[in-house]
Structure 1
Amino acid sequence: MTLSSSFATGSGRPPAIPGARWSPADAPVRPLLLWVRTGMAHVRVGDGPTLHLKAGEGAWIPADDRAEIPADGRAERAITTEPGTVAFPLCPHAGVGARGLPDLTRFDVPSDWQDWLIQLFNLQVTPFSGHGYSPEAIAELLRRPAARPPRPAALGHDPGPEGFVSPAMPRARGARAVAEELMRDPALDLTVERWAARVLSSARTLRRDFLADTGLTFEQWRLHCRLGAAVEFLAAGYDVDQVAALVGFAGRNGLTRAFKGRFGLTPHEFGRKLFTRPGAGALTQRAAAARQTDDLIRMMRETDTPAAPEMLPPASTPSHANDIHVLSWMYRGSGYLDIGDQRYERERGVATWIPAELEHVTGLRENSVSLPLGNANTADLHLTAPLQVRFSPAWDDYLMFCSISARSALRPDDHNPRHVLDLFAEQVATQRALSVPMPTDPRARAVALECLRRIGEPGGAHDAEADGTQDADVRAEIHRAFRDETGMTLVRWRYAARMRIARDLLAGGAQPSTVARRIGYAHLPTFSAAFSRFHGLSPREYQQREAAKSR
Structure 2
Amino acid sequence: MTEIRHAPVAPTRTQRLASGGEIDAHRHDDHQIVYAARGVLAVTTSEGSWVAPGTRAIWVPAGTVHAHRAYGELDLHLVGLPATDNPLGLDTPTVLTVGPLLRELIVAYTRDGSGDSPERARLRAVLLDQLRASPQQPLHVPAPTEPMLRAVCAILQADPGDNRTLAELGREVGASDRTLSRMFRRDVGMTFPQWRTQLRLHHALILLADKTPVTVVAHRCGWSSASAFIDVFRHTFGHTPGTYPTAVTPIRRAVGVPGEADWLVPGHPGAG
TM range, normalised to the smaller chain? 0.3 to 0.5
Q: Which has the larger radius of gyration?
A: 1
TM-score (ref. length: structure 2): 0.43
Higher relative contact order (CA 8 A, sep 6+): 2
